[in-house]
Amino acid sequence: MIGYAEACALQKRIVAARKADAIEDVLLLCEHPHVITQGRNGKREHLLVSEHVLRQKGVEFHETSRGGDITYHGPGQIVGYPILDLGAIRRDVVWYVRMLEEGMIRATAEFGIVASREPGKTGVWVKGGSFTSHESAVTSHLAPVTVTREAEKLGAIGVHISRWVTSHGFAYNVSTDLRFFDLIVPCGIADRKATSLEKLLGRTVEKSEVALRLAKHLGELFGLELRETSKEEFLQKLERAEQVVAVEA
């Protein structure tokens, strides 16, 4: 668990070290307290409540440099910040976003759920299926009507790339309180809802179990060997890298 502003400050430090080639590629996996963030392309009208209401609910608001519109982060959601040198992997922004989606799709499949992309939309979606409404048959003696539910969003993406080094990333709903998405028009798409892995499965899921799968698939997709490290060990490594950069400068 880390505050959003603190996570952004940490990313900036890692990006600077990565641009100087003083540190390897990094995948930060974390969880944020309640926060709503607005990307570079965001519209303030997609925030549906006042800042006073946000304060009452204990929700922070931050404008951010990532792409995309407005989204919510909070407990029960895995937020991933890959800080990669795409110059050494593949200089293709669209491909990079598709790989983030693919990592979430493959991790979801391991839980027996089919997630997919939606044409013209970024992120990972789960089709809602269909149900038959018998209400019309009872009230107006018409035949039952089959209604198809719209796909719901399981994972969101918003990235920033500078000199081919990535930051920001993705958010994957594991046990997220989905009511907080009612405070916004998620990603600027008014007619779609968010969902979570626990809602889809109808059972409790450990975030660590999901995080391991996300990391594994992203490592495979980017051709990287992932080595897990603690926050403390990593911060020490980052400080050493920053000292090297300072000396060389």
| The token pair that represents 155 in the structure block | 């994972």
| The token pair that represents 222 in the structure block | 């980017």
d(CA 198, CA 201): 5
**CB-based contact 70:49 (threshold 8 Å):** no
State the Cα torsion 226-231-237-241 to the nearest 10°: 90
d(CA 119, CA 108): 19
d(CA 202, CA 76): 15
**CB-based contact 169:79 (threshold 8 Å):** yes
Catalytic residue chosen out of the listed positions 10, 187, 194, 197: 187
- 30 catalytic? Reply is no
- Any bridge partners for residue 172, and if so which? 78, 155
The vertex-170 CA angle with 108 and 130, nearest 5°, equals: 45
**CB-based contact 64:35 (threshold 8 Å):** no
- Residues labelled catalytic: 187
